[in-house]
């Protein structure tokens, strides 16, 4: 019997948990849920208003309408390709369908339409356990009665040997002990502290894998503890460890950091990114935190109301948002919007200012002569300036000094309902009620179609 697990976990410098990378491809994925009967009845009431009595044909119509109305389309034509080894961040407001999308990929929800490929396998009809994915949830879902070691080992013990990967398990098992005796000894000693357990060949292999993973996540000193003896961040790392140990084809992470305090969140975020780079496992990471999205992802997929709005690297999303929703959602404080009118070739007019755009806009503005557009400008691209026809005359409503930065909320003169935010240098002292002029960095202006919200460069 081994003295301690940690003694025997002197692992080689090379990790045996190098990822089996796989591309994840979603083609026209749809998911709808049946709506509650109350919702459909309410909808039907509206739909059938004006029908005094139900004739048999109107009854049939109501039945038809009921079947039509009794679905909520949560995912609508999702196309997404996550490349081998990529960290894709899925971001969007609450209720937009992020968790549903992960659950559909994991096989925890049935698809309504479309195809999902993992590696070269079409997995539409495969059970979750056959998809070779590991999911990490917001609530760590650790087994309270199992030690950290056993929590990490749990998935490994349940895996068939053939799926351990790279013939590694077979290489390591060369025991002459009959497996039923081993199983008996393992079973009898499993509840003992780690150093006292009997380790079969399979358990030795598991121990090595758990050792590697726990070292990677810096929880190797906690293996003997129960979940209730851990902090939130440690529990989170154990949950990650359990996912990593299985060496899946892809990780699906659903807001895994939202239970942590701000500092731990930042630390764990960095750790997850480092780990993902080290392991190179394809990862889809769901969050509604914009900072997490900007700092973690190789690419970001922005979702709204069941549809993907844009997929691009973080800075491209920030600098070239495809539509008003993305422009407003990514960036804090959000982008400001002002309605303006186009005078080709390059003039943008408003009752209070008039601005000439850089020459590069000419070809995009041509079709919009005389039309209204939404001008978008980020708070950091507004600065305090002097009176001029191209500048905005505003009144300061609120000053928020954060130390490193100062944000001001202002309204356009004579339109108290308009609200804009600007970032100014903290050295400047301003008071609420002051009248000032703001200039816009003309090369940082965005323009959107008011009706569709689409960015003009997209058209
Ligand atoms: N089993 C279900 N039956 C009916 N509607 C559901 C079901 N599961 C989710 N929904 C609905 O689908 C929509 C998307 O839910 P989902 O949990 O995917 O959102 P989310 O983007 O993960 O939100 P959050 O950021 O709050 O976690 C919501 O409107 C939700 O009410
Ligand atoms: Mg969710």
Q: Kindly report, residue by residue over 270-295, the tens digit of the pLDDT.
A: 888 988 888 899 999 999 888 899 99
Residue nearest to atom 18 of ligand 1 (CA): 97
Residue nearest to atom 5 of ligand 1 (CA): 33
Instruction: Choose one of 100, 305, 308 to mutate for the ligand 1 pocket test, by most ligand atoms within 8 angstroms of C-beta.
Output: 100
Q: Which range is most confident: 165-169, 273-277, 302-306? A: 302-306
Shortest-distance atom of ligand 1 to CA 92:
21
pLDDT, average across residues 328-345: 94
Task: Using a pLDDT cut of 70, give the percent of the chain over it.
Answer: 83
pLDDT, average across residues 131-138: 88
pLDDT at 321: 97
Residue 145 has pLDDT above 50, yes or no: yes
Confidence of residue 318 (pLDDT cuts 50, 70, 90): very high
Residue 34: CB within 6 Å of ligand 1? Answer: no
Confidence of residue 357 (pLDDT cuts 50, 70, 90): very high
For the chain, domain boundaries: 333-458
pLDDT at 177: 54
Instruction: Return the CATH architecture of domain 333-458.
Output: Beta Barrel (2.40)
**Of the given ranges (51-60, 80-89, 99-108, 241-250), which has the lowest mean pLDDT?**
51-60
Question: Which tokens is 440 given?
Answer: 């816009």
Confidence of residue 148 (pLDDT cuts 50, 70, 90): very high
Residue 203 has pLDDT above 90, yes or no: no
Q: For residues 273 and 19, which has the higher predicted lDDT (pLDDT)?
A: 273
Q: For residues 72 and 53, which has the higher predicted lDDT (pLDDT)?
A: 72
Residue 33: CB within 6 Å of ligand 1? Answer: yes
pLDDT at 123: 95
Q: How far is the CA of 214 from the centre of ligand 2 (A)?
A: 27
pLDDT at 43: 38
pLDDT, average across residues 137-152: 88
Confidence of residue 385 (pLDDT cuts 50, 70, 90): very high
Q: For residues 189 and 44, which has the higher predicted lDDT (pLDDT)?
A: 189
Q: How far is the CA of 95 from the centre of ligand 1 (A)?
A: 5
Residue 82 has pLDDT above 50, yes or no: yes
Q: Kindly report, residue by residue over 25-44, the tens digit of the pLDDT.
A: 999 999 999 876 554 444 33
Q: How far is the CA of 99 from the centre of ligand 2 (A)?
A: 4
What residues have CB less than 8 Å from 435, skipping those under 6 apart? 393, 394, 395, 396, 413
pLDDT at 13: 32
Confidence of residue 54 (pLDDT cuts 50, 70, 90): very low
Residue 403 has pLDDT above 80, yes or no: yes
Q: For residues 298 and 68, which has the higher predicted lDDT (pLDDT)?
A: 298
Ligand nearest to the CA of 103: 1
Residue 47 has pLDDT above 70, yes or no: no
Question: Which tokens is 38 given?
Answer: 């109350």
Q: How far is the CA of 259 from the centre of ligand 2 (A)?
A: 13
């Amino acid at each position: 019997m081994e003295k301690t697990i940690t003694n025997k976990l002197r692992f080689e410098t090379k990790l045996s948990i190098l990822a089996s990378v796989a591309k994840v491809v979603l083609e026209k994925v749809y998911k709808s849920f049946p709506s509650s009967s109350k919702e459909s009845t309410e909808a039907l009431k509206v739909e059938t208003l004006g029908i005094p009595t139900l004739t048999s044909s109107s009854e049939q119509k109501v039945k038809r309408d009921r079947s039509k109305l009794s679905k909520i389309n949560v995912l609508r034509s999702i196309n997404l390709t996550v490349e081998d080894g990529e960290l894709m961040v899925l971001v969007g407001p609450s209720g937009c369908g992020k968790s549903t999308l992960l659950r559909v990929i994991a096989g925890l929800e049935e698809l309504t339409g479309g195809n999902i490929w993992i590696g070269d396998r079409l997995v539409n009809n495969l059970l979750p356990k056959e998809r070779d994915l590991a999911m990490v949830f917001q609530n760590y879902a650790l087994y309270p009665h199992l030690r950290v070691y056993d929590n990490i080992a749990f998935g490994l013990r349940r895996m068939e040997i053939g799926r351990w990967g790279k013939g590694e398990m077979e290489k390591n098992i060369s025991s002459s002990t009959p497996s039923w005796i081993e199983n008996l000894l393992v079973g009898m000693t499993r509840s003992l502290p780690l150093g006292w357990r009997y380790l079969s060949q399979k358990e030795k292999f598991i121990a090595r894998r758990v050792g590697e993973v726990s070292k990677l996540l810096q929880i190797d000193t906690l293996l003997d503890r129960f979940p209730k003896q851990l902090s939130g961040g440690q529990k989170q790392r154990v949950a990650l460890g359990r996912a990593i140990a299985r060496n899946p084809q892809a990780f699906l992470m659903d807001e895994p950091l939202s239970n942590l305090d701000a500092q731990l969140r930042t630390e764990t975020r960095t750790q997850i990114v480092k780990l993902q780079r080290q392991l190179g496992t394809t990862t889809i990471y769901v969050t509604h935190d914009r900072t997490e999205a900007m700092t973690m992802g190789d690419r970001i997929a922005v979702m709204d109301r069941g549809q993907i709005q844009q997929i691009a690297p973080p800075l491209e999303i920030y600098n070239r948002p495809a539509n008003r929703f993305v422009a407003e959602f990514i960036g804090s404080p959000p982008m400001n919007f002002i309605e303006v009118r186009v005078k080709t070739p390059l003039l943008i007019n408003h009752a209070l200012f008039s601005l000439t755009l850089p020459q590069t806009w000419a070809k995009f503005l041509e079709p919009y002569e005389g039309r209204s557009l939404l001008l978008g400008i980020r708070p950091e691209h507004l600065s305090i300036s002097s009176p001029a026809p191209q500048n905005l005359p505003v009144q300061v409503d609120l000053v928020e000094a954060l130390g490193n930065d100062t944000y001001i909320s202002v309204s356009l003169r004579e339109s108290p309902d308009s609200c804009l935010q600007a970032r100014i240098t903290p050295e400047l002292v301003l008071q609420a009620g002051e009248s000032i002029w703001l200039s816009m960095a003309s090369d940082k202006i965005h323009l959107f179609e008011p009706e569709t919200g689409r960015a003009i460069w997209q058209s």
